[in-house]
Amino acid sequence: MPQILVQDLAKTYRVAERDPGMLGAVRGLVRRRWRTVEALKDVSFSLERGELLGFIGPNGAGKSTTIKILSGILRPDGGRVEIEGLVPYADRIKHVARIGVVFGQRTQLWWDLPVIDGFDLLRDIYRVDPQRYKATRDELVAMLRLEKLLDQPVRQLSLGQRMRAEIAAALLHEPSILFLDEPTIGLDAPSKLAVREFVKKLNQERGVTVLLTTHDMHDIEALAQRVIVIGHGQVLADSPFETLRANVLAERRLFVDFAGDAPALDLPGAEVRNRDGRSLELAFDPRVTSAPALIAAITARHAVEDIHVEQPAIEEVIAKFYDLHGANEA
Amino acid sequence: MNALSLLGRYFGASMRSQMQYPASAMMLTLAQLASTAIEIVSIWALFDRFGAVKGWAFGEVMFFYALIGISFSFADFLTRGFDVFGSDFVRTGAFDRLLLRPRSAALQLVGHDFRISRFGRFFQASIILAIATGTLGFVWTPQAILLALWTIAGGVAFFGALFVLQAVMAFWTVESLEAVNALTYGGVYAGQFPISFYARWFRTFLIFIVPLACVSYFPVLAILGRSDPLGAPDWFLPLAPAAGFLFLALAFLAWRFGVSKYTSTGS
Amino acid sequence: MDALRPYIAAFNSRFLLMMQYRAAALAGFFTQCWFGAVHVMVLAAFYLGAPEAAAASPITLSQAVTYTWLAQGLLAVMPWNGDPEVAAGVRTGSISYDRLRPVDAYALWYVRAAGWMTARLVPRVALMILAAGIALPLIGQGQWAWQPPSSLSAALLFALSETLAIALACAIVMLINIIVVATLNARGINILMQPIVIIFTGNLLPLALYPDVVRVALFLQPFAGTLDIPNRIYFGNLTGQMAWAGIGLQIFWTVLFIVLGRFWLGRVMSRLEVQGG
C-alpha cells in the first residue's frame, strides 16, 4: 500500500465572466454568465514513503488544486485520495495533524510576535508533547540556523530568514509528509541553497516524504528523484527527472571559438545554430553523433581557440515539454 | 491542550503583539471611546427637542444604550477574527492555513485577535450606565446585578452570532460584509431604543428572527422592574437572553455549512 | 481633450471595477433599508409622541422621513474614509508609481475616488428609490415614503447641489488620502472620520433637529455641504437666497479643500521622494 494514493482525481470550478465596457458592467449587475473550468480531469499517481516528488507545470495547470486536495482543504468532484489510510478531505483534522505544509508566498507565523512565540503557539495548536517539542524545536533551530532569529518579531526577518523559520514551523509536530509550495520563490541564492540542502537532508535522513511544487527548475534538479508534469489538469509525464530530460531534449550544444572567422561548416548529425564573428554554436543529437567525433572533425580542418559542450538548461527542457503538449495556453 | 487554555495562549500572544505598539493601542481605544460616545449626542438632541416618548425618558434609553454597548464591546473583542474573516482570511487565502491545522477553524478565528481598543466602547458604555443609574436613581440590588450580567452574556452571544453570520456570508462573497454591518452596528443602534418605538413587523423581526429584543428590551425591563407595556408575560422577561445563545448555536450551524461549501469549491 | 484622457480612463476603470461587485451593492442596499427603517420609526415615535414639539420643529416628519431615505441612498458618497486603493498603495509601496506617471497625482486620485464613489452610488441609490420611493407607496405605506422633490426648481437646484456635494466629498476624501500617505497608516484616520461624518453630515440625525443654538454653526461647517444642504434644497426647506447661500458654501468648501489638498499632497509627495518612499 503506497503512502499516498491518488486515483482519477477530477475537479471543476465555475467562474463568472463579464462583458467588456460600461454596458457589460451594468449587465453584469443583473445577470452573470458562468464558465466552467476543468482544473483537474483525470489525475492518478501514487507515492511511497520517503519519496521526494517534484510537481511541475505551467500556471493554472492544476498543481495547486491537487495540493489543496491532498492536504485536505479541498474536496474533489471525482476520484479518490488515500493518504496513510485516511481520506484527507473527509478526515481533515486527523489528516492535517500528520502533514506539514509550507506556502512560499504566505506566512503561517505571527507577524508581530517573536519567532519563538509563534513556535510555542503551534506547539499548543498541534498538541505536541512539551518534552518532545523542545527536542524537535532545538534540532530544527540548529539545522536551519535559527538561533539568532528566535527572539525577533517575524516582520523584521528577511525573506530568506523567514522561509527558514516557516519550514521549521511546519515541522514542529514531526509530520511524516511535507508539502512544499514554491518554497524558494523570491529567495536569494544562498537562501535557496540552504532550503534545498535542508529539504534533502530531511528526506534522506528522516525519511520524510516530500511533495514539492516549484517553478524553479534548479529546485527540481537538485532535489527531485521523480517528477510529475501536470498540464490541462492531466498528468503529462511521471518519471525520473533524467528520463524526462533524455526523452524530451536529447540535444547537446557545442560551442567553438576559432582563431579566425568562424567557417561555414557542414557536418553530419550537427546543425549550425549561431555564427557570430569567431564563435560558432552547433546543436547535435548524441544518439547520432558524439562530441569527440565532432571535435575531431572540426579541429582537423580549422584552428580552434576554445571549445566546450553544454546540456540544454533545464528551463528549456520544460518549456519544450510544455510546448509539445500544448500545455502553455493553460 | 484543551480549547480553553489554547484560547488563553492566543490571548496572551495577541496582547503581546499589540503591546509592540502601545501608543497605537491607546490611541485606537480613545478613538473608539470618542466615536461611540458621539452617537448618544443625537439621541439626547431628540429628547431635548421632543421630550419623553411613550413613557420612556432619556435616562431609561441611556440604560438600553449602555447595556447594548457593553454587550457589543465584548462580542467585538471576542470575535474580531470573524469580523475580518472576509478581508483577511478568504480574500487572502489565509483561511487555508487555518484548515491545515488540526483544530476547529472557529476556535482559531476566536483566537486570531483580541483588540484592546474595543474597551473604548466598553468604558464609554459603562460611563453612560453610571450616568443612567444616577439619573433614574436606580438601586443595584444583587438580583439586578446578576440579571444585568446574564443580559450581557446573552448580548455577547447574540452579537457574536451576527459576526459569525457575517463570516459565513464571506464564503459566498467577500464584498457583502456591509450587509451584516446593518445587523451588528445597526443592531446596536436599534437596540438603544425600547422596541415599543417600532412598528409591529419590526418588533416581530427583532423578537423572533434576529432576537435583539431578547437581549436588550425584555431583560432591561426586568432589571428596571417594569412590566412590558406590549404585553409579554413577566416571567419571560428575565429568561429572554437565552435566545442569544440559541441564535449563536444556529449561527455555528450555518458556519459549518459555509466551511463545507468552501472546501468543495475552494473559493 | 487628449490631455484629459488619463483621467477619464482612471475614472472609467475604477467605475467599471466597482460595478462588478453586485453582492456588495445588494448588501449596501440592505444596510440602507435597515438603518433607514430604524431611523424613520424612531423619528416617527418622537414626532407623533409630542405633537406640540413636532409642530414647532424646523422640519416636518414627512421631510425628516425623506431626509432619512436620501441620507441612506447617498451613503456611498459620504467621505467615510480614504480611498482603499490609496491605503493599499501605501501598504504595498505602489504609490511610488503614481509619482512616475506623467500626470497630475492630485487630479488622478481625485477622479479615481470619484469613480469609486459614484460606481457604488448608482446601484444603491437606484434600489433605494425603487424601495422607498415606489414600493412603499404601492403597499399603502406612502406616509413613510421617499417623497419627490417639492418643486421643479427644487429638483434642478438639488441636482446642482448634489453634484457639488459629491465634488466636496471627493475633496474631503482626498484630504483623508493625503493624511494616509503622510502618516503611512489608514486605520487611525478612518476610525476618526466615522463619528465626524455620521454626525456632521446629518446622516444620523437631520442637522435641523439639533438644538437651535448650534444650528447656524452646523450649517456653516463643511460636512453640511455633503448631505444636509442638498437634502434641504430637495424638500424645499432651503429656498431662494438660502438655497444659493448653501450652494455658495458648498463651492467655498470644495475650492478651499482642493487648493489645500493640492498644496499639501505636493509637499507630502516631495517628502516621500526625499525619503525614497
CA C7 to centroid of chain Cα atoms = 21
CA A40 to centroid of chain Cα atoms = 18
pLDDT digits (tens, 9 = 90+) for C193-252: 888 899 999 999 999 999 999 999 999 999 999 999 999 999 999 999 999 999 999 999
Q: Which amino acid is at A53?
A: L
Instruction: State the Cα–Cα distance between residues C81 and C180, nearest whole angstrom.
Output: 10
Q: What is the mean pLDDT of residues B163-189?
A: 79
DSSP H or E segment with residue C246: helix C240-275
> What pLDDT is stored for residue A196 in this prediction?
93
Does the structure show a pLDDT above 80 at A287? no
> What pLDDT is stored for residue A327 in this prediction?
58
> What pLDDT is stored for residue A262 in this prediction?
82
Q: What is the mean pLDDT of residues A62-75?
A: 90
Q: Indicate the pLDDT class of residue C277, thresholds 50, 70 and 90.
A: very low
Does the structure show a pLDDT above 50 at C272? yes
The full set of domain ranges for chain A reads 4-246, 250-311
Contact C256, C265 (CB under 8 A): no
Q: Across the interface, which of B6, B102, B266 has its CB nearest the CB of A96?
A: B102
Instruction: State the Cα–Cα distance between residues C10 and C118, nearest whole angstrom.
Output: 13
Q: What is the mean pLDDT of residues C95-102?
A: 70
- Could you tell me the three cell numbers for B155? 448580548
CA B265 to centroid of chain Cα atoms = 31
Q: Indicate the pLDDT class of residue A9, thresholds 50, 70 and 90.
A: very high
Instruction: Give the lowest-confidence range in A105-114, A125-134, B121-130, C5-14.
Output: C5-14
Mean pLDDT computed over every residue of chain B: 90
Does the structure show a pLDDT above 70 at C254? yes
Concatenated DSSP letters of B183-240: HHHHHHHHHTS-GGGS-HHHHHIIIIIS-HHHHTHHHHHHHHT---TT---TTTGGGT
> What pLDDT is stored for residue A330 in this prediction?
41
Q: What is the mean pLDDT of residues B45-64?
A: 91
Residue B264 or B142, more confident: B142
Instruction: State the Cα–Cα distance between residues B154 and B246, nearest whole angstrom.
Output: 9
Between helix C105-128 and helix C5-19 the angle, nearest 10°, is 40
> What pLDDT is stored for residue A21 in this prediction?
65
Q: Phi, psi at residue B259, to the nearest 5°?
A: -65, -40
Minimum CA–CA partner of A22 in chain C: C16
Residue B198 or C270, more confident: B198
Neighbours of chain C (3+ CB pairs under 8 A): A, B
Mean pLDDT computed over every residue of chain A: 86
Minimum CA–CA partner of A103 in chain B: B97
Q: Which of A92, A133, A151, A166 would best serve as a mutation to test chain B binding (most B beta carbons within 10 A)?
A: A92
Residues in CB range of C187: below 8 A, 6 or more apart: B28
Does the structure show a pLDDT above 60 at A329? no
Residue A16 or C129, more confident: C129
How many C-beta atoms surround the C-beta of residue A205 within 10 A?
A: 9
Minimum CA–CA partner of B179 in chain C: C27
pLDDT digits (tens, 9 = 90+) for B67-95: 999 999 999 999 989 988 988 888 888 89
Helices (H), A59-145: 63-71, 92-96, 115-125, 130-143
Instruction: State the Cα–Cα distance between residues B138 and B241, nearest whole angstrom.
Output: 21
- The DSSP 8-state label assigned to residue C131 in this structure reads I
Between helix A189-206 and helix A159-171 the angle, nearest 10°, is 20
Q: What's the CATH code, domain A250-311?
A: 3.30.70.250
Q: What is the mean pLDDT of residues A43-47?
A: 93
Interchain contact, B54 vs C45, CB within 8 Å: yes
> What pLDDT is stored for residue C191 in this prediction?
81
> What pLDDT is stored for residue A299 in this prediction?
86
Q: What is the mean pLDDT of residues B26-38?
A: 82
Q: Phi, psi at residue C26, to the nearest 5°?
A: -65, -40
Does the structure show a pLDDT above 90 at B98? yes
> What pLDDT is stored for residue A136 in this prediction?
95
> What pLDDT is stored for residue C276 in this prediction?
45
Does the structure show a pLDDT above 90 at A176? yes
Minimum CA–CA partner of C204 in chain B: B42
Does the structure show a pLDDT above 80 at A318? no
pLDDT digits (tens, 9 = 90+) for C134-160: 999 998 888 899 999 999 999 999 999
CATH 3.40.50.300 fits A4-246, yes or no: yes
Contact A211, A47 (CB under 8 A): yes
Q: Which of A65, A73, A115, A211 would best serve as a mutation to test chain B binding (most B beta carbons within 10 A)?
A: A73
CA distances C165 to C125, C200, C247, Å, are: 15, 14, 9
Which residues are paired to A210 by β-bridges? A52, A178
Give all strands of the β-sheet with A279-284 in edge-to-edge order. Answer: A270-276, A279-284, A252-258, A304-310
3-state secondary structure of B261: helix
> What pLDDT is stored for residue A30 in this prediction?
64
Instruction: State the Cα–Cα distance between residues B59 and B134, nearest whole angstrom.
Output: 9
- What percent of chain C clears pLDDT 70, i.e. is strictly above it? 95
Q: Is B193 on the interface with C (CB under 8 A)?
A: yes
3-state secondary structure of A103: strand
3-state secondary structure of C238: coil
| CA angle in degrees (0–180, nearest 5) for B78-B84-B86 | 135
How many C-beta atoms surround the C-beta of residue B3 within 10 A?
A: 13
Does the structure show a pLDDT above 60 at B188? yes
Neighbours of chain B (3+ CB pairs under 8 A): A, C
- Could you tell me the three cell numbers for A216? 524553479
Instruction: State the Cα–Cα distance between residues A217 and A239, nearest whole angstrom.
Output: 15
The number of domains in chain B is 1
Q: Which residues of A touch B97 (CB under 8 A)?
A: 103, 106, 108
Does the structure show a pLDDT above 60 at C21? yes
Distance of residue C255 Cα from the nearest chain A Cα, in angstroms: 30
Q: Which residues of B touch C195 (CB under 8 A)?
A: 34-36, 38-39
Which residues are paired to A256 by β-bridges? A280, A307
Minimum CA–CA partner of B9 in chain A: A121
Q: What is the mean pLDDT of residues A168-195?
A: 92
* Structural domain boundaries enclosing B42: 3-265
3-state secondary structure of C82: coil
Instruction: State the Cα–Cα distance between residues A122 and A175, nearest whole angstrom.
Output: 13
Residues of C near A (Cβ–Cβ under 8 Å) read 12, 15-16, 19-20, 22, 25, 123
> What pLDDT is stored for residue A173 in this prediction?
94
DSSP H or E segment with residue B241: none
Mean pLDDT computed over every residue of chain C: 88
Give all strands of the β-sheet with A33-47 in edge-to-edge order. Answer: A78-83, A4-17, A33-47, A234-240, A226-231, A52-56, A209-213, A177-181, A99-103
Concatenated DSSP letters of B88-142: IIITTSHHHHHHTSSS-HHHHHHHH---GGGHHHHHHHHHHHHHHHHHHT----H
